[in-house]
Amino acid sequence: MTARIQENSSHPDLPARRDVIERLTPGAVRAHAPAGLAALLVDAVDGGASVGFLAPLETAEAADWWSGAAEEAERGVRDVWAAHGPDGSLTGVVTLVRAGTANGRHRGEISRLLVHRSARGRGLGQRLLATAEAHAAATGLGLLVLDTQTDSPAERLYRGAGWTVAGTIPDFAADPAGVLRATTLYYKRV
């Protein structure tokens, strides 16, 4: 089943735009992996986001990661939503990963919330996050977790969306340039 949500931009400096948020089937993840999804991941890394990869990230490596995400979606472990801009290009993505242990089936992790640099500033990250949170709650998850680089722009998004800081771990992950950075862990009850 695919859910599509039309979104309007309310940013005063941008012309009115519509982004459509759609839950992707595993087949759709595979179809978008080599181009749109890979481009979003490469753009995030090129922009300095610490999302598990070092720069420069090759498109083929990014596409391989998304192919693995499609396999997880096929197994029911990962849900993927993508935002499509008015021209049909992918402007953002978010995934929800379900805990795989018997004692953790009540929780999930928000992972790979990416908004293309050209689509930032119009609330798309908030809408993608809210879509994943609503789905989590509707499917019986009561607790969500995520992590992000400490002092990154993403922290403002998460705090504004009601997420709670659980703690910070120094030198947890390298940024795209290979420099070790602190990571802040967040949680939210949904």
Tokens of 14: 């941008």
- The bridge status of strand 143-149 relative to strand 107-115 is parallel
Which pLDDT band holds residue 14 (cuts at 50, 70, 90)? very low
Q: Is the pLDDT of residue 58 over 50?
A: yes
189 has a pLDDT exceeding 90: yes
C-alpha distances in angstroms, 100 versus 20, 75, 97, 107?
30, 11, 9, 9
Q: Whole-prediction pTM value?
A: 0.90
pLDDT digits (tens, 9 = 90+) for 132-147: 999 999 999 999 999 9
pLDDT in tens, 17-56: 579 999 999 999 999 999 999 999 999 999 999 999 999 9
- Average pLDDT of span 9-18: 52
User: Which candidate, 167, 87, 83, places its Cα nearest to that of 129?
Assistant: 83
Give per-residue pLDDT as tens, 66-113: 999 999 999 999 999 999 999 999 999 999 999 999 999 999 999 999
C-alpha closest to that of 73 among 23, 113, 109? 23
**Per-residue pLDDT, 18:** 77
- C-alpha distances (whole Å) from 76 to each of 127, 131, 139 are 23, 17, 12
Give the three-class secondary structure for 78: strand
